[in-house]
Amino acid sequence: MNQPPSKRKKATSGTFSNSIPSANSLNDTVDQENPANATITVSAVEVPELTEQEQSDRLHLERIVERSFFEAGKALMELRDRRLYRSTHRTFEQYCKDRFGLSRDTAYLKLSATVVYDNIEKFLPTIGRQIPMPTNERQLRDLAKADFEPHVQADVWQRAVEQANGKVPSGRIVKSIVEQLKDKPLFFARDFCQIGDVFTICKLEGTERKYNNCWAIAVALNEFTVEVDVHDATLTVKPENLNKIDSPEAHRQLPQIKKRILRLRECGNLDRCAYTVLESLGKQIYLTEVEDGLLQWLENHYGVIR
């Protein structure tokens, strides 16, 4: 039954506002008849920087996430080695299938990837910087299948990280490096050179690329890497980063040039021009008469006795 017009409730149009804190204390009005026309103004909020403790906590938690598959593999390994499945299953493979839904291949991939992860963590040369670790077993599938020594596995992972621009590499990148090494194995440093041999450096990347084209002198041989002295540092590089210098004159001069530059650097408080000269001499495999004269002038100026 319809109500008389006088008793009907009239629909009234109205507005409501939500106050959003901002510099100007603006209120946003919503049009009920056409909500699409409503606008909301939100002021910028300053995000506080992480404290030193928060940064430490973040790194710790990220490591836990990264290691999750590794920890799972370690647990599976202990279950297998101690035969903790024996009260319910005759075989480890059937236990993994019934308890975790893992096929035989998947279970053993987790185990082999765990071994590779452990090797990478032990043998990876961090060189003073944080290198990302694997985050899942698929990244290590091909590396686990390859018959590489533990330190070679670490070297492969480091190369893969470099190709991925410092990020965690995909399994495809790792696979490509594994295939390359199968076709062209790593050089043993002892077969490549001897202590005292001289080289020019090439193909370095990242912060060390500034040493490309500098001379270098071998001072220690590792299994697959060579430690070399350059004009202002000692680097650990691969044989592929070294081009041999066959000049007898370079073999004679470079050790003396290195000593002279080192003595000057040990003085401290060198003028910026002096550093520029020494860096330039770090790329010269022999000294011209003018270059030798500049070096002598610096030695005299800073009181360095030859």
What is the tally of structural domains in the chain? 3
Position of tokens 């279970």? 107
Instruction: Give the least confident one: 8-12, 89-93, 177-181, 198-202.
Output: 8-12
Please check whether residue 126 lies inside any domain of the structure: yes
| pLDDT band per the 50, 70, 90 thresholds, residue 212 | very high
Please check whether residue 65 lies inside any domain of the structure: yes
Query: Are residues 158 and 268 both part of a single domain?
Result: no
- What tokens appear for 31 in the block? 């049009």
Query: Are residues 66 and 179 both part of a single domain?
Result: yes
pLDDT of residue 22: 45
pLDDT at residue 29 is higher than 60? no
Looking at residues 46-51, what average pLDDT do you find? 80
pLDDT of residue 215: 95
Query: Are residues 176 and 194 both part of a single domain?
Result: no
In terms of pLDDT, which residue wins out, 152 or 17?
152
Is there a contact between 109 and 115 (Cβ–Cβ < 8 Å)? no
Per the structure, the complete domain to which residue 287 belongs is given by 250-301
Please check whether residue 38 lies inside any domain of the structure: no
Q: What is the DSSP string of the chain?
A: -PPPGGGSPPP---EEEEEPP-TT--EEEEESS-GGG--------PPPPPPHHHHHHHHHHHHHHHTHHHHHHHHHHHHHHTTTTTTT-S-HHHHHHHHH---HHHHHHHHHHHHHHHHHHHH---TTS--PPP-SGGGGHHHHHS---HHHHHHHHHHHHHHTTTSPPPHHHHHHHHHHHHHSPPPPHHHH--TT-EEEE----GGGGGGTT-EEEEEEE-SS-EEEE-SS-EEEE-GGGEEE---HHHHHHHHHHHHHHHHHHTT----HHHHHHHHHHTT-SS--HHHHHHHHHHHHHTT---
Instruction: Give the least confident one: 52-66, 111-125, 232-246.
Output: 52-66
pTM for the predicted model, two decimal places: 0.47
- Residues facing residue 236 across a β-bridge: 227
pLDDT of residue 164: 92
Looking at residues 8-35, what average pLDDT do you find? 45
Average pLDDT, the chain: 81
Last residue of a domain, one of 160, 183, 206: 183
State the Cα–Cα distance between residues 205 and 195, nearest whole angstrom: 24
